[in-house]
Structure formats: structure tokens, C-alpha cells
Structure 1
Amino acid sequence: MSQRNYKSNKNIVFSCKYHVVFCPKYRRPVLTDGVDERFKQIALELSEELGFEIVEQEVMPDHVHLLIDCDPQFGIHRIVKQLKGRSSRLLRSEFPWLKRRLPSLWTNSYFVATVGGAPIAIVRQYIENQKWVADNK
């Protein structure tokens, strides 16, 4: 049986993991040619800055999967907003062709689900396998 790792702040002890998925505007396959790797760097920098953990991430050409462990008082919605905002601004400035292809990089919507009772290893494996599934379509 795996041991659950709990985190704490001065008020609470928690273990909150979220599966987050979001897409570029019009689901265009623009997360390629270095944009994917740069997105991963931006996400890791932001996680260190805001104090959340990216347990797993996979960037597909037309969507992003993240497994995030964060303080519930900070809120997953704030993380997603910061992540989409900063990555859009930086990626569109570093890759000018994105500005020509899209009026804005990300859609306004996103999917988020708590991992709940699912073993983290299973969710991590699912996210890791997304690249393989897309390549074999």
C-alpha cells in the first residue's frame, strides 16, 4: 500500500491533486517546434514561484495535461489563470508566428478534476501515455 504524502501550511494539512487540461484557441496544433518545451519551462518556473508542484505534465500539439499538487487555500483556478496568462504572453513574444495564427493563445475554458481516490501512479501513467496515444492514431 502506498503512503500518501501530506503537505501543510500554518492552517491546514492537505493532499490536493488536480488533473488539468486546456487547449489553444480553436484547438489549433501550435504547441510544437519548441513551443511545447518552452511551455514546460514556464510552467516549472511558475510552480517554484507560486509554491505548487507539477507532478506530471504532457504537452500535446493541441492540448496540455497537468497533474498539479497545490494548497487548496491558494486555489487551482488561480494557478490555471496565472499559467495561461504568463505562458500566453511569453510564448507569443518568443514565437511571433503564434500571434499570426491565433488572436489569443488559450481558450477561456479548461478542464479540472480532483484526483481523489485514484492512485497517483495511475493518473501519472495516463498523462505520460497521452503522447503515445496521439502518435498512434
Structure 2
Amino acid sequence: MRASLGAAYDLGYHGGWCSKYRRPVLGGRVKDRLEGLIRVKGGEHGWGIVAVEVTPGRVRLLDEPYSKNSPSCVAGRFKGFISRHLRAEFAHLRSSLPALWSRSCFVATVGVVSAETVRRSIETRYEWAAMGGGRA
């Protein structure tokens, strides 16, 4: 639960976005740096980062922003900040892709399902998929 002047709220966003053309460019050192950048950007704005999953072509995130931050604003801030830093640090991301991210993103508010349930879903996704539960 968070509070600001005149408001109390418990808000979480479960979001995700893909690399341009879903190319598998988010592995190894890029993945490690990307996770760090997410935590840096979240810290800059005071957004709580609950869970992060980075696969070679996709990022999934559960964060707790302030109530004044719209879902598209939060996703856009993360995508722009991360793209600028990763493309400056890793030359292969500049040469192999015209842009790091696709234009779209997915964002859902966490409400009916608890934030803890979404966090467990993000952390155990591959275990579930290995048991035949679906795509990873």
C-alpha cells in the first residue's frame, strides 16, 4: 500500500514488450545489463520492481508505480531508457536492428489477482512450460 497527498493506493502493472521482429538479442551480457537498467529506471522514479523476466526476445515485468503514472507512460519510459543505453553499449544492437523494441507493449493492472500470484507466475514460467503448460 502506498500513499500520496490525498490518496492511498495499491497498484501494480504486469507488463511486457518484445524486441523488434522478436529477434533473440537479449541474452548474455545484454540480459544482465537490461535487468540492471530496469532497476535503475525504477529507482529514479520511485517505482517498486517486484519481478523481472528477460528471455532472448521478450521482457516481462511486474512493477508498482505511482498512481499518477499511466501504464503506457511507464512502459514507454522503460523502453526508451533501456534502448538508449543498450544500443550505446552494445554495437551489435545498432547494426542488426533499426530499433531495439517493437512499437507495441502489453500492460495489465494487478488487481483481482494478487501481485504475489503474478510474481510467482513470472518466476516459475519455465517450470510450468516444462511440465507441458504452454509456450515459454
1:112 has 2:101 as partner = no
Distance 1:135 1:99, change over 3 A: farther
Aligned twin of 1:51: 46
Q: Write the deviation string for residues 50-108 of structure 1: whole angstroms up to 9, x where unpaired.
A: 11111111101110110011112122222211110011011011110111111000011
Counterpart CA distance in 1 for 2:26 and 2:124 is: 17
Aligned twin of 1:70: 65
Asked if structure 2 preserves the Cα contact closer than 8 Å seen for 1:60 and 1:131, the reply is no
Any idea what SS the aligned residue of 2:34 has? helix
Counterpart CA distance in 1 for 2:76 and 2:103 is: 9
1:24 has 2:19 as partner = yes
Unaligned runs of 5+ residues in structure 2 are none
Any idea what SS the aligned residue of 2:119 has? helix
Report the TM-score, using the length of structure 2 for normalisation: 0.89
Distance 1:52 1:61, change over 3 A: same
Pick from 69, 75, 82 the counterpart of residue 87 of structure 1: 82
Q: Report runs of 4+ in structure 1 exceeding 3 Å deviation.
A: 131-137
Q: Write the deviation string for residues 7-44 of structure 1: whole angstroms up to 9, x where unpaired.
A: 01113100111110100000111100211110111111
Identity, % of aligned pairs?
36
Aligned twin of 1:3: none
Unaligned runs of 5+ residues in structure 1 are 1-5
- How large is the RMSD of aligned CA atoms in angstroms? 1.7
Q: What is the number of equivalent residue pairs in this alignment?
A: 132
Report the TM-score, using the length of structure 1 for normalisation: 0.89
